[in-house]
């Protein structure tokens, strides 16, 4: 079998913040790819504004570097399980996976998730123990953890014989030994390990064309662009070829442009062949998973398997009293079109109409997945309202089941008791508990996904901000009955409209935690804080102090209130109960009751209590 020794295709996979994007930066810098005068920005592959702000990779990126006589196509993948759809697709494009593991943290929930996807795809693994110079690094123990994880996930004998490199991506050093003092000022060991161990793609370019769309891109000049790998054959600009649609139909089209990747650029090319990762344009309604093949010998590749969504929430056109004041995209039609457009590039997302006017159910892989979408929309000028997230139930073998997640908690020892207690109340089952040294304990649980909705805030309070919580989808299991998790405290709800005043907020803050300060425009039914009691409390936050000519004896005191708690988008979504919406605009995040009128809401509450 003839192979293309001039090329290697590899994905970089890891848990969040273990250094994938930083490693890609170093490989770009130290390869024979970019001119010496070119300066590479920090985390150059994270080009999306939200990615750079949050320090996470959301969308898979591909680049190519030149090392000696070999072109190495590198695909940087997300580390968070909510973007697992990206990881799954990428595994179909590569022959190997470089697994990056933090030398201090070791294997984490997302390490397990991304490695499982790589092993299922049958790719050749390489392990890089990163941050070898980090204080407290324990490379030997971490390598044992990695080996145990490979065995636990059912790796083949060939996959268990993985090569290991030790590195500090931040410093651009690496070596074959786990002693930090023996790190070399080069990434050559990483390059050499890739070239030696990752299989070169098969060169069957003399056969008929097969090319599968794995990612989608967009260009203002040429429209939609399909990105993927050529599995066999070759393609040239001007060729007439066939798209094998997901629904089984075929569509002929002419290739108008081809693009290859080199460094940080997408360059126009004239032809490509088996083993190349390229982008192709010429057809506007192409979708992920579809096969492009020779017109005279069209044969579809197997469809890409993507784990289905596990969480959903309703996106509703904004109808609050402040609707249309801050956004530019405010009509229901524009919101619907934008949501449908998102499904064309995000295979893990599903959008369906509901029986409610101007409302759509959007299903995704988790809270982060959906909140990132909301953040993108608000930055584009959209206004919308969001319902409380709900897990998606499935009937399996005649039994109704719900999603469960593997949860890993790293916390200082003094908070272990409260964490175990709170997760137990959320129906979590402890699987393991061990001391990791330095006064830290690692806890592992199996928890129903609905028990984790809104838990992050409580967890951070319990551990005084020192705890680390990671979770990833594990399985579907029988529904836990007679249990309805949710917020324990009620809300402080405004009874009128107008600007809030310090005078009124002073009396209200005794009843709970405020979310707004003075001078904020509110409306009736808007949530202005969290009640200290279980039930909602209707409050007046717009009342002013009556002015008189009588001056009180003694010294005047400046009115002051405590600093209100400003909710992030994720915190606002987590706060929601079933009778509430989160109103999102380009400038504001507000919480409100679905029924704004105070009297009507009281009647509805009484009726619900009777039922």
Annotated binding site: 17-22, 130-133
The encoded tokens of residue 64 equal 């190519």
Tokens representing 259? 């693009």
The DSSP 8-state label assigned to residue 556 in this structure reads -
Distance CA 512, CA 538 (A): 12
Distance CA 310, CA 464 (A): 30
Cβ–Cβ under 8 Å, residues 431 and 446:
yes
**Phi then psi dihedrals of residue 9, to 5 deg:** -120, 120
Q: Is 353 helix (H, G, I), strand (E, B) or coil?
A: strand
* CA pair distance 253, 239, nearest whole angstrom: 8
Nearest alpha-carbon partner for 408 in 452, 468, 367: 468
Q: Are 576 and 387 a contacting pair, CB within 8 Å?
A: yes
**DSSP per-residue codes, 8-74:** EEEEEEESTTSSHHHHHHHHHHHSSSS-TTPPPPTTTT--SHHHHHHT---S-EEEEEEETTEEEEE
Task: Record the tokens describing residue 134, joined without a space.
Answer: 């980090």
Segment (H or E) for 101: strand 96-102
| String of DSSP letters for 187-255 | SHHHHHHHHHHSPPPB--TTS--EEEEEEEEEETTTEEEEEEEEEESEEETT-EEEEE-TTS-EEEEE-
Q: 204-223: buried (b, 16+ CB within 10 Å) or exposed (e) per residue?
A: bbeeebbbbbbbbeeeeebe
**Whether 567 contacts 379, CB under 8 Å:** no
Residues annotated in a binding site for GTP: 17-22, 130-133
- What is residue 94's three-state secondary structure? coil
Cβ-proximal residues to 461 (8 Å cutoff; 6+ apart), any chain = none
What gap in Å lies between CA 611 and CA 603, rounded to an integer? 13
Integer Cα distance of 278 and 113 in angstroms = 27
| Alpha helices (runs of H) in 101-174, residue ranges in sequence order | 109-120, 139-152, 157-160
223 and 217 in contact (C-beta within 8 Å)?
Answer: no
| Nearest of 288, 289, 307, 303 to residue 81 by alpha carbon | 307
For residue 25 the two structure tokens come to 């930066």
Tell me how long the chain is.
Answer: 611
What is the phi/psi pair of residue 506, to 5°? -60, -40
Residues in contact with 287: Cβ distance below 8 Å, sequence separation at least 6, in sequence order: 213, 216, 245, 246, 344
Structure tokens at 350: 């599903």
Task: Give the contacts of 201 (CB within 8 A, at least 6 positions apart).
Answer: 3, 4, 7, 9, 95, 274, 275
């Amino acid at each position: 079998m003839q192979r293309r020794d001039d090329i290697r295709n590899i994905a970089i996979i890891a848990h969040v913040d273990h250094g994938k994007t930083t490693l890609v930066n170093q490989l770009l810098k130290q390869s024979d790819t970019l001119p010496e005068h070119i300066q590479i920005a920090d985390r150059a592959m994270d080009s999306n504004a939200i990615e750079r702000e949050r320090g996470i990779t959301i969308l898979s990126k591909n680049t190519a570097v030149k090392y000696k006589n070999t072109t190495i196509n590198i695909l940087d993948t997300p580390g968070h399980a909510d973007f697992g759809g990206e990881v799954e697709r990428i595994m179909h494009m590569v022959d190997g996976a470089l697994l990056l593991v933090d030398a201090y943290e070791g294997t984490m929930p997302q390490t397990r998730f991304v490695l499982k996807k790589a092993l299922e795809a049958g790719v050749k693994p390489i392990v890089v123990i990163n941050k070898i110079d980090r204080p407290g690094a324990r490379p030997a123990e971490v390598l044992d953890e990695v080996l145990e994880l490979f065995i636990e996930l059912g790796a083949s004998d060939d996959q268990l014989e993985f090569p290991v490199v030790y590195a500090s991506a931040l410093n651009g050093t690496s070596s074959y030994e786990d002693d930090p003092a023996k790190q070399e000022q080069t990434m050559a060991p990483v390059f050499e390990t890739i070239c030696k161990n990752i299989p070169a793609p098969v060169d069957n370019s003399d056969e008929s064309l097969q090319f599968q769309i794995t990612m989608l891109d967009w260009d203002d000049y040429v429209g939609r662009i399909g990105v993927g790998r050529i599995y066999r054959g070759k393609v040239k600009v001007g060729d007439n070829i066939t798209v094998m649609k997901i629904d089984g139909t075929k569509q002929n089209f002419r290739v108008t442009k081809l693009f290859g990747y080199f460094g940080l650029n997408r360059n126009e090319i004239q032809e490509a062949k088996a083993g190349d990762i390229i982008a192709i344009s010429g057809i506007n309604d192409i979708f992920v998973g579809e096969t492009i093949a020779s017109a005279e010998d069209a044969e579809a590749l197997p469809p890409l398997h993507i784990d289905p969504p596990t969480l959903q929430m309703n996106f509703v056109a904004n109808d609050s009293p402040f609707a249309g004041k801050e956004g530019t995209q405010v009509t229901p039609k524009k919101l619907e079109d934008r949501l449908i457009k998102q499904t064309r590039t995000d295979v893990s997302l599903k959008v369906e109409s509901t029986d409610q006017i101007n409302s759509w159910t959007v299903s995704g892989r988790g809270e982060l997945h959906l909140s990132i979408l909301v953040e993108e929309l608000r930055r584009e000028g959209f206004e919308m309202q969001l319902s409380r997230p709900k897990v998606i139930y499935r009937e399996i073998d005649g039994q109704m089941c719900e999603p469960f997640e593997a949860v890993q908690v790293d916390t200082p020892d003094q908070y272990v008791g409260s964490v175990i207690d709170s997760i137990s109340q959320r129906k979590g089952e402890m699987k393991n508990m061990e001391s990791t040294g330095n006064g830290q304990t690692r806890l592992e649980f199996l928890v129903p996904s609905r028990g984790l909705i809104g838990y992050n805030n409580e967890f951070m309070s319990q551990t005084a901000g020192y705890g680390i919580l990671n979770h990833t989808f594990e399985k579907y299991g029988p529904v836990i009955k007679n249990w309805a998790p949710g917020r324990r405290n009620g809300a402080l709800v405004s009874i009128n409209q107008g600007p809030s005043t310090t005078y009124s907020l002073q009396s209200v803050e005794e009843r709970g935690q405020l979310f707004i300060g003075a001078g904020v425009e509110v409306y009736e039914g808007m949530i202005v804080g969290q009640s200290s009691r279980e039930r909602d409390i209707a409050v007046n936050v717009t009342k002013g102090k009556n002015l008189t000519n009588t001056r009180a004896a003694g010294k005047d005191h400046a009115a002051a209130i405590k600093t209100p708690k400003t909710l992030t988008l994720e915190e606002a979504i987590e706060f929601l109960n079933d009778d509430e919406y989160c109103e999102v605009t380009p400038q504001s995040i507000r919480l409100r009751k679905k029924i704004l009128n105070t009297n009507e809401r009281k009647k509805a509450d009484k009726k619900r209590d009777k039922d």
